[in-house]
Amino acid sequence: MTRILTDTPSLISYSAVGGRSEGEGPLGDYFDSINDDEYFGKDTYEQAESELQKEAVNIALEKAALKEKDIDIIIGGDLLNQCVATSFAHRDRAVSMLGIYSACSTFTEGLILSGIMTSEGYAKRAMNVTSSHYYSAERQYRMPIEYGGQRAPTTQRTVTASGAVICESSDKAPYLRGFTLGKIIDMGVDDAANMGAAMAPAAYDTINSFLKESGKGLDDFDNIITGDLGSIGSDILYKLFDMDGIDIRSKHLDCGKLIYDTERQDVHSGGSGCGCAASVCCGYILPKIQSGELQNVIIAATGALMSPTVSFQGESIPSISHLVWISHQRG
Amino acid sequence: MTRILTDTPSLISYSAVGGRSEGEGPLGDYFDSINDDEYFGKDTYEQAESELQKEAVNIALEKAALKEKDIDIIIGGDLLNQCVATSFAHRDRAVSMLGIYSACSTFTEGLILSGIMTSEGYAKRAMNVTSSHYYSAERQYRMPIEYGGQRAPTTQRTVTASGAVICESSDKAPYLRGFTLGKIIDMGVDDAANMGAAMAPAAYDTINSFLKESGKGLDDFDNIITGDLGSIGSDILYKLFDMDGIDIRSKHLDCGKLIYDTERQDVHSGGSGCGCAASVCCGYILPKIQSGELQNVIIAATGALMSPTVSFQGESIPSISHLVWISHQRG
Identify the closest residue of chain B to A178 by CA–CA distance. Answer: B122
Q: Residue A267: how many CB atoms within 10 A of its CB?
A: 26
B174 upstream amide cis, omega within 30 of 0 = yes
For chain A, where do the domains classified as CATH 3.40.47.40 start and end? 2-168, 175-327
Architecture of domain B2-168: 3-Layer(aba) Sandwich (3.40)
- Picking from B3, B44, B181, the nearest residue to A313 by CB comes out as B44
The reported pLDDT for the residue numbered A145 is 86
pLDDT of residue B322 exceeding 90:
yes
Strands A252-254 and A223-226: parallel
- Which residues of chain B are within 8 Å of residue A101 when distances are taken between CB atoms? 77, 82-83, 99-101
Cα-to-chain-centroid distance, residue B136? 17
Q: How far is CA A12 from the centre of its chain?
A: 18
Which of B72, B306, B307 has its CB closest to that of A1?
B72
In tens, the pLDDT along A124-168 reads: 999 999 999 999 999 999 988 888 888 888 999 999 999 999 999
| Predicted pLDDT at A189 | 93
Which of A324, A303, A282, A284 minimizes the C-alpha distance to A53?
A: A282
Instruction: Collect all residues of chain B within an 8 Å Cβ-Cβ radius of residue A181.
Output: 73, 96-98
End-to-end CA distance of chain B: 21
pLDDT given at position A63: 98
Interface test with A, best of B51, B96, B272 (most A CBs within 10 A): B96
Count of CB atoms within 10 A of residue B217's CB? 9
Instruction: Give the span between the Cα atoms of B62 and B53, in whole angstroms.
Output: 14
- Which of A81, A97, A122 minimises the CB distance to B116? A122
**Which strand (E) or helix (H) includes residue B291?**
helix B286-291
- Please give the average per-residue pLDDT across B117-136, as a whole number: 97
Percent of chain B with pLDDT over 90: 94
State the pLDDT at residue B145: 86
In total, chain A counts a number of residues equal to: 331
Q: Which residues of A touch B183 (CB under 8 A)?
A: 93-97
At residue B149, the pLDDT reads 85
Instruction: Please give chain A's pLDDT, 331 residues, in tens.
Output: 999 998 999 999 999 999 999 999 999 999 999 999 999 999 999 999 999 999 999 999 999 999 999 999 999 999 999 999 999 999 999 999 999 999 999 999 999 999 999 999 999 999 999 999 999 999 999 988 888 888 888 999 999 999 999 999 999 999 999 999 999 999 999 999 999 999 999 999 999 999 999 999 999 999 999 999 999 999 999 999 999 999 999 999 999 999 999 899 989 999 999 999 999 999 999 999 999 999 999 999 999 999 999 999 999 999 999 999 999 999 8
At A100, is the secondary structure helix, strand, or coil?
strand
The pLDDT score that the predictor gives to residue B100 is 98
Q: DSSP code of A104?
A: B
| Mean pLDDT, range B228-235, rounded to an integer | 97
Residue B107 to residue B76: CA distance in whole angstroms: 8
Cα(B124)–Cα(B122) distance, rounded to whole angstroms? 7
B37 backbone dihedrals φ, ψ, rounded to 5°: -85, 115
Check: complex ipTM more than 0.95: yes
Q: How far is the C-alpha of A229 from the C-alpha of A235, rounded, in Å?
A: 9
pLDDT in tens, A208-244: 999 999 999 999 999 999 999 999 999 999 999 999 9
CATH number, domain B175-327: 3.40.47.40
Query: Closest approach of chain B CAs to the CA of A85, in angstroms?
Result: 10
Q: Which residue of B has its CA nearest to A124?
A: B1
Report in angstroms the alpha-carbon separations of A14 from A4, A211, A280, B65, B240: 22, 27, 11, 45, 39
Smallest CA–CA distance, residue B40 to chain A, in Å, is: 17
Task: Name the H helices within A39-156.
Answer: 45-63, 84-89, 106-119, 134-141
Q: What is the full DSSP assignment across A199-233?
A: HHHHHHHHHHHHHHHHT--GGG-SEEEESS-HHHH
Chain A residue at shortest CA distance from B79: A82
Q: How distant, in Å, are the alpha carbons of A307, B90, B166 from that of A81?
A: 9, 20, 28
pLDDT at A148: 86
**pLDDT, mean over chain B:** 96
Q: What pLDDT is recorded for position B227? A: 96
Across A138-148, b (16+ Cβ under 10 Å) vs e yields bbbbbeeeeee
pLDDT band at B150 (very low <50, low <70, confident <90, very high): confident
Partner residue facing A101 (CB), from B3, B99, B123: B99
What pTM value is reported for the model? Answer: 0.98
pLDDT band at B6 (very low <50, low <70, confident <90, very high): confident
Percentage with pLDDT > 70 across chain B: 100
